[in-house]
Amino acid sequence: MSHEPARASTIADLMRAGREMSRLSTVFRYAIAERLGVTVSDLECLDYLADVGSATAGQVAERTNLTTGAVTSMLRRLQQAGYVTADRDPADRRRVIVTLRPERIAEVERPYERFAARAERLVEGYSVEEVMLLVGHYERMQSMYLAELDRLRSGDTAQRSD
């Protein structure tokens, strides 16, 4: 007796659950952005800066998938709102270094705190091996997202599955 139908059904369930999680994540991020009084792209920038500390405007553009012109407007909004500083790089005056203002970090992180605590409690119920499986899965998914973003940015429209 083959397990292929059960495997196919389980994989389909996983894909559906992943799509639903992605949709809910997007809706959640819109709600957080609204609470902070910023756009979702602004929030992506703030989250990125909270993770890395400082970044060039070009790195922010790449991370948010925005044009340099759109990033310039976004950074201006975030500066006016007091979320970030944007200073010329002393080593290369053509580059701008963007930094999340330290006194605003807690404000940006606060809307995530309850969810993060609940997620941590959820994961506590998993074995180390299960957590390692999830970490590996997320890392492979991130690599796939990055590869697809590169493909989309390059204008490649070929439909292939590799």
Q: Count Cβ atoms within 10 A of the Cβ of residue 87 and give its class: 0-12 exposed, 13-18 middle, 19 or more buried.
A: exposed
- What is the reported pTM? 0.82
- Separation of alpha carbons 14 and 6, rounded Å: 12
Alpha helices in 37-127 (DSSP H): 40-52, 57-64, 68-80, 105-109, 113-124
Q: Per-residue pLDDT for the chain (162 aa), expressed as one digit of tens each?
A: 567 889 999 999 999 999 999 999 999 999 999 999 999 999 999 999 999 999 999 999 988 889 989 999 999 999 999 999 999 988 888 899 999 999 999 999 999 999 999 999 999 999 999 999 999 999 999 999 989 988 988 887 766 665
Q: pLDDT tens digit string along 15-43?
A: 999 999 999 999 999 999 999 999 999 99
